[in-house]
Structure 1
Amino acid sequence: GEGFSDVELRDELVTMLLAGHDTSALVLAWAFGFLASHPESVEEVYRETLEVLGPPGEDGKWPKFTVEKVMAMQKTDRILKEVMRLRPPVFEMTREVTKKHRLPSGKTVREGQLVVVSPYVQGHKGSFFDRPDQFDPARWELDGGASTCKPPEGRYIPFGFGSRTCIGFRFAEWEMIIMLSHVCRNFTFSRSDQSDPEFACHITLNPATPVTLNVKPRS
């Protein structure tokens, strides 16, 4: 119940800026790869940007985002959710057991043991998601697309879960929505290889090979 000290607050801000840089960049790299293989999603982001921000002014500049306008980018948010379900930047997380506990499966974990949880595995379970290997942002639609459904707890966890959820997750989501909108409003892009990008597991979940795009400025 106590607030952060100045040192703790500083450390959390440093974590957000440093740890959030590579992970957000990775999600965007994956997003561009998936969108280039699914050009209809590029146009969805573009049309939603026009609807939410309005067209550019006479000077050619687009209106600026506000918090309310970022939150109105529901289709773009669903696209990013689907990207992070398929390719979460952090492949696995570990937690140390603090007291003996019996799991629903019947197995017992003991104090001091490490439990590994994988956002990638959770996102690809057929018991959690229909057609789990397919890129389908529409799976996140609610009320006919008017809003976005909240994922069931523990199934979609690219930012962790519970009291240890990433402290910067909202900042990261908004940052990526703005960046994706900025790129899609100015460019169209495609890939000669229409298959979804493959991955390699390092500290983070990286593309196995460079994601090469064919990029054209919008007229």
Structure 2
Amino acid sequence: MDTRPAFDAYISSDGVTLDDRDVVLLRAIDREGSLNTAAESLGRSYAHAQRRIVELEDAFGSLVERQRGGSGGGGSTLTQTARELLAAFERTRASFEGVAEIAETVLTGTIAERDGELVTVETRAGPIRALVPEGNGRAQLSLRADAVTLTDPADTPVPEHTSARNRFTGTIVGVESGERIVRVAVDVGIEEPILALVTEDSRETLGLEAGSDVVVSFKATATRGVAVEVTES
């Protein structure tokens, strides 16, 4: 089993997930004062929008108060439950953005091989394939945490079955939780831990905690950098 770097904010209840698309619909209803007009303004079918609201209400409670009559089929307003749900969604989004803002690992090493923009950089942990447009010598690489996959060492696929050829075994040295998103720091023997973002569900499923062994994987195309000059003093 592995983490999947899909971190759009969402809130779940009873197997139903409210995501950004649903939030856009609820806000349109609040703005337009009508479910029909809201769906039209978003280029969605009224029937589909209505079905979606019913699905959400089955899971979260009453979200839209409807009034019959009028040329547009009556007015619609958001309930207090809907407004609280929107506020909770924004807190979840802010939590992710706060965790993700500095979730990046900087790696350094020496460029050993070059094939166009793709290079092999020798680091203390081993070779890393990365994109470095030009230059040779030392390289500084940047790796976004949401591009990193963590797997249980026993469940890690063989290299031939994945495009993430950069792979290191390490030990978790830090776990920082937001409301829905968790930042995991993994020591793989280089200058600083590699950071990965996972959902809280993934953290629980994989049992990610300090001291656990994991395999860190990431694609060359997710690892970008520049060659840096080394000046002698």
- TM-score, length-scaled by structure 1: 0.26
Q: Whose helix proportion is higher, 1 or 2?
A: 1
Work out which of the two has the higher radius of gyration on C-alpha atoms and give 1 or 2. 2
Q: Whose strand proportion is higher, 1 or 2?
A: 2
Q: Flag the structure with more relative contact order, 1 or 2, with Cα contacts below 8 A and sequence separation at least 6.
A: 1
